[in-house]
Structure 1
Amino acid sequence: MRQAALPRPAALRRVRGDPDRECRWSGQLNEASLFQRIGGGDTIDRLVDGFYDRMERIEEARTIRAMHREDLEPSRSILKRYLTEWLGGPQAYSSERGHPRMRMRHMHVPIDSAARDAWLLCMRGALDETVSGEAERAAIYEAMAKLADWMRNTDDSPA
């Protein structure tokens, strides 16, 4: 005798557009996104502000600061929306700007290993300052390091 399939529990159904109820298909009930686990939009705001504040004041970031416009507010706003979505929060970036196409959007500036390292230095400091959970901080940094390395568009290997 064949048994009827049981319906999937409501807690495992993905609820789009509602970050408070969004679940991943991991098999765990109510698994929160990184966005939720780090504290949501307030933490993203502090993270991005800390990142750009470092870019403005530390000597090692001088070259990447020069790649930006004088007014950093538009860049801050874009990065806040991007990270919100990238970490599992509301679709604040793609609903306005479409697919991120991060590498294409940055091809107008030369990004070499030194630029990558300066960017990561600023981001590491901002993460250490704003994300209290060690596991979350490590997961975000690891993913950002891969993305930053992929963004390189200038060959800077020794001849």
Structure 2
Amino acid sequence: MSSTTFYEEIGGAETFRKLVHEFYLRVADDPVLRSLYPEEDLGPAEDRMRMFLEQYWGGPTTYSDQRGHPRLRMRHNPFQVDRAAHDAWLTHMLSALDTIDARTLDDAHRAAMVDYFTRAAAMMVNTPEDV
């Protein structure tokens, strides 16, 4: 019996490439988020996020092969992630998710991704409101 992964069920690399690219198009023009990316070119960050998401959802393990364990909170700790950054990140990610065709991303798969992105965004907040 052959089983498919979430990654395969929603179109694999092509879907994740589109999702992450759409997200970073929005980040590039966002004054809150853009300041969190020290690199002039967002390409390396886009590649890292794409590889991470592909791996998380059952695709290739390229992220861990190249960078080790994801350790998301540790990797984001040097940056001030406040509620405004959380809100902007989640808004842009959900907007990017909306660009994926419903034939590729059905309601159940979309709901799983929305749930994950909502939890992940909340987990990254590391700066209190009053700072």
- Kindly indicate whether the alpha-carbon contact (under 8 Å) linking 1:111 and 1:151 is maintained by their aligned counterparts in 2: yes
The answer for the alignment partner of 2:123 in structure 1 is: 150
Q: Which amino acid aligns with 2:117?
A: M
Alpha-carbon distance change, 144 to 131 in structure 1, aligned in 2, over 3 angstroms: farther
Structure 1 or 2, whichever has the larger Rg, is 1
Q: What are the within-5 Å matches in structure 2 for residues 80-159 of structure 1?
A: 80-130=50-100, 132=102, 133-156=106-129
Runs of 4+ in 1 over 4 A off after TM superposition: none
**Larger helix share, 1 or 2:** 2
Q: Provide the aligned length of Structure 1 versus Structure 2.
A: 127
**What TM-score do you get using the length of structure 1 for normalisation?**
0.75
- Kindly indicate whether the alpha-carbon contact (under 8 Å) linking 2:28 and 2:42 is maintained by their aligned counterparts in 1: no
Question: What are the ranges of 5 or more consecutive residues in structure 2 without an aligned counterpart?
Answer: none
How far apart in 2 are the matches of 1:143 and 1:113? 17
Q: Which amino acid aligns with 1:153?
A: N
**What TM-score do you get using the length of structure 2 for normalisation?**
0.90
> Out of 42, 47, 59, which is 2:19 matched to?
47
Q: What are the within-5 Å matches in structure 2 for residues 53-68 of structure 1?
A: 53-57=25-29, 61-68=30-37
The answer for the alignment partner of 1:4 in structure 2 is: none
What is the root-mean-square deviation in Å for CA atoms of aligned residues? 1.5
- Kindly indicate whether the alpha-carbon contact (under 8 Å) linking 2:81 and 2:125 is maintained by their aligned counterparts in 1: yes
Q: Which amino acid aligns with 1:149?
A: A
Q: Which amino acid aligns with 1:130?
A: I
Q: Secondary structure at the match of 1:93?
A: helix
How far apart in 2 are the matches of 1:46 and 1:123? 12
The percentage of counterpart residues that share the same residue type is: 38
How far apart in 1 are the matches of 2:25 and 2:79? 21
Question: What are the ranges of 5 or more consecutive residues in structure 1 without an aligned counterpart?
Answer: 1-10, 12-20, 22-29
